Structure 1
């Protein structure tokens, strides 16, 4: 696993963050050191998949990056006629995702697709995962995606949504950010790395509040939804379609 040094040197011009080759090469290290509770989230995605799997169904990983959630789902699927569909708009991520999927044998097929999750058909879905991806979409496109997922889920299907979030209370928001930056420092990131990456993300990652997420899920049709994980300003939620 290559060490993340993407922002270790001073940059004269900090470009908007992109999931390019440089990021893809160090992504496993970057995500482990940057997202609190990431392994717990991935492991729980597998457990939730085992619980909500259905025969003759699709399992979607929207914004799959290197395929960690896809692999977690595949390991826990025993239902007949199942297929995992992993989608990402980064060529660098999809190429590496395909290699990772080939490294592990399974009877459950996984299709890794280069594409825009806003245009991906959601059909006969038992489980849909959006793991730290919705926050990178334009805010005006988020409602429509969640509504399409709801329509594409089978009765009793589940959406697992993980996100960085913000709060309306500036004092609370600043405290959560400070605690998160302490987490990154403890994981070996320098002040320069923290500052430069934050600048790179400012225009491309726009988190919602938890209240906004809850309203969006309700308006899409999910009557059962809840927060199951939170550490600092990172969280994961589930939403279940009525059976």
Structure 2
């Protein structure tokens, strides 16, 4: 099956709106994410392995901001704990529609339910695994701690949160080096200067970045006893936290 190629920003826009997870993005998302995020496949694969290690019987496994369900599917394929269910939540109707079809196409004993919703307004059930894979960065900064606290309050002792994020560095020189390396990565994957520049401008108001240290501090403040950054490439990181 051919994956549609991301060319959303290949032509110049006279008026560039904010980036949104709409029908156009949903159509090309697999190509977009793999050409834009270094190590994305490694992160998703490892998320599945971590979930298989920490999932507890008769609990819920959440994928928050599930998009097309890559992490949801990794949960489904790796879960061996009896009595579990998986819930994927995304605010985008276009993503949710495709996501359920994707996860239904793969075998597995763990039931999966995909729903459209606001993860800040969700009443979380007792859970042992929660995935935030490049999701928190699209939540308003003043509400990020609130969301992590909601998750922590619902999480069983010994439960696992995986938080993957694009981050910024407090030192401006180092931050610029990492930004430049990421742009080189995108050029190597076929994105033009116009595409890189327009997408960056479109994301400016909707994706506000924190430092890795800010993320780690929030996790500790919201009740996670152990916090470990396990992956980093340029300014893309993934951290797991144990309740």
TM-score by length of 2: 0.98
Q: Distance in 2 between matches of 1:134 and 1:168?
A: 19
- Would you identify which runs of 4 or more consecutive aligned residues in structure 1 move more than 6 Å? none
Q: Find the residue that maps to 1:122 and give its secondary structure.
A: coil
Structure 1, gaps ≥5 residues long: none
Q: Distance in 2 between matches of 1:108 and 1:218?
A: 30
Q: Find the residue that maps to 1:7 and give its secondary structure.
A: coil
Q: Residue 235 of structure 2 corresponds to which residue in structure 1?
A: 233
Equivalent residues in 2 for 1:48-59 (5 A)?
A: 48-59=50-61
Q: Find the residue that maps to 1:2 and give its secondary structure.
A: coil
Q: Residue 41 of structure 1 corresponds to which residue in structure 2?
A: 43
Q: Residue 187 of structure 1 corresponds to which residue in structure 2?
A: 189
Q: Distance in 2 between matches of 1:105 and 1:39?
A: 20
Cα deviation for residue 106 of structure 1 reads 2.0
Q: Distance in 2 between matches of 1:106 and 1:53?
A: 15
| Corresponding position: 1:11 with 2:13 | yes
Q: Find the residue that maps to 1:166 and give its secondary structure.
A: coil
Equivalent residues in 2 for 1:5-154 (5 A)?
A: 5-154=7-156
Q: Distance in 1 between matches of 2:184 and 2:218?
A: 31
Cα deviation for residue 190 of structure 1 reads 0.3
Please report the RMSD computed on the Cα atoms of aligned residues, expressed in angstroms.
Answer: 0.6
TM-score by length of 1: 0.98
Q: Find the residue that maps to 2:13 and give its secondary structure.
A: coil
Residues 158-207 of structure 1, C-alpha deviations (whole Å, 9 max, x = no match): 00000000011100110000000000000000000000000000000001
